Amino acid sequence: MDALLPLLERAQQATLSVRTLSDHRQQSLLRSLAARLVRSAPAILAANQLDLERMADTDPKKDRLLLNDARIQSLADSLLDIAALPNPVGAVILQRTLDNGLTVEKISVPLGVVGVIYESRPNVTVDVAALCLRSGNVCVLRGGSDAIHTNTCLVGLIQEELTAHQVDTAAVQLLPVERSLVEEMLKAVRFIDIIIPRGSQQLIEYVRQHSSVPVIETGAGVCHTYVEQTARLENAARIVTNAKVSRPSVCNALDTILVDKAIAQELLQLLSASLVAYNVEIFADVAAYEILTAAAYPYLQQATLADFGREYLDYKCSVKVVADAEEALEHIRRYSSRHSEAIITENVVLGERFLQEVDAAAVYVNASTRFTDGGVFGLGAEIGISTQKLHARGPFALEKLVTEKWIVRGNGQIR
Our finding on whether 194 is near a copy of itself (CB under 8 A) is yes
Q: In whole angstroms, what is the distance from residue 8 CA to residue 271 CA?
A: 53
Q: Is the dihedral angle over the CA atoms 219, 308, 244, 343 positive or is it negative?
A: negative
Under 8 Å between Cβ of 243 and 225 = yes
Minimum Å gap between C-beta 320 and a copy of itself is 20
Q: Which member of 255, 268, 364, 398 binds a copy of itself (CB under 8 A)? A: 364
Our finding on whether 362 is near a copy of itself (CB under 8 A) is yes
Q: Which member of 246, 274, 301, 347 binds a copy of itself (CB under 8 A)? A: 246
Q: In whole angstroms, what is the distance from residue 245 CA to residue 238 CA?
A: 11
Q: What angle do CA 204, 205, 209 make, to 5 degrees?
A: 120
All residues at 6 or more sequence positions from 401 whose CB lies less than 8 Å from its CB, including other chains: 88, 110, 111, 114, 131, 132, 135, 137, 383
Minimum Å gap between C-beta 124 and a copy of itself is 20
Ranges assigned E (strand) in 129-206 = 138-142, 172-174, 194-197
Q: Which member of 16, 35, 294, 323 binds a copy of itself (CB under 8 A)? A: 16
How many other β-carbons are positioned within 10 Å of the β-carbon of residue 136?
A: 25
Binding span for a copy of itself by CB under 8 A among 54-62, 79-87, 319-327, 361-369:
361-369
Our finding on whether 330 is near a copy of itself (CB under 8 A) is no
Under 8 Å between Cβ of 199 and 118 = yes
Amino acid at 75: L
Q: In whole angstroms, what is the distance from residue 170 CA to residue 18 CA?
A: 10
Between 185 and 194, CB nearer to a copy of itself: 194
Our finding on whether 86 is near a copy of itself (CB under 8 A) is no
Minimum Å gap between C-beta 358 and a copy of itself is 9
Number of residues that bind a copy of itself (CB under 8 A): 70
Q: Which member of 242, 256, 272, 345 binds a copy of itself (CB under 8 A)? A: 242
Residue ranges in contact with a copy of itself by CB under 8 A: 12, 15-16, 19-20, 96, 98, 102, 104, 106, 111-112, 189, 193-194, 208-209, 212, 214-216, 232, 235, 238-239, 242-243, 246, 333, 351, 355-357, 359-368, 370-372, 376-378, 388-395, 403-415
